Structure 1
Amino acid sequence: MRRLLSMIYNYHGTATVRFALKLAPLVFVRPKELRFAEWQEINFQISEWRIPARKMKMGEDHIVPLSTQALHVFQEQFLLTGHSSIYVFPSARSLHRPMSNNAILSAFRNLGISKEEMTGHGF
């Protein structure tokens, strides 16, 4: 795990993908939930990410408590997309769409991590 986290923190791709990679092991949500995260769901004051039932597999609201480290990642990403996109991790092509479902997988491959070693769902 130490090696994986080191590789993630040294990833030289886009900032949005780097921040998504950093956040994944801190919040343990499915890749789709991460990609479709919206700024209105993040509450910095009470350190909470409230994912609405309509986005959840089981159809119930999901509350993700945010650690200091997770809040820091969200704050860094907010500087990039918080004023221009509803999505925390927007597509590189359009701020009106979420990040590609292949963005995390491509990042892992670019880091030299095979699909047998790790997937976005692996967290």
Structure 2
Amino acid sequence: MERLENLKLSLDQLKLSGTKENLIKVLIEISKLLPPSDDVAITLGKKGTHEYVIDRRGLAIITTSQDEYLPFLSSSEKRISMEQLPDDVAKKVMSDISSLLIQLRDILKAQARRNPSYGSLASEVDLIVKG
């Protein structure tokens, strides 16, 4: 469980110094723990029509818009570097880091139904959430 140890260390660094750089380290460790699926992402926050999410491949912006003449929503995804996360979204995430860990735990629990090896990882993340 070296990956989980890296997450714990990065969370400790974030608690000591709540900087965007330390948050980025946490986000990188969380993305490494996500199952290999394009259907899984953790929401960091919304800003207007943009939703910032992390998945196995890193950080992305999902932009949603309503088509002018049709009652449909369309969305597009754009990959950005972790450093491009807006400061206000980063501050919001840092103030409620437990919600990110809860989303991670829930994703791992759901994945454990398909692949039991994720069960112990979900349990350990749950200990961090409660810790």
In the superposition, the TM-score normalised over structure 1's length comes to 0.31
**Which of 1 and 2 has greater Rg?**
2
Indicate the structure with greater helix content.
Answer: 2
Which of the pair has the greater relative contact order for Cα pairs under 8 Å at 6+ separation? 1
Indicate the structure with greater strand content.
Answer: 2
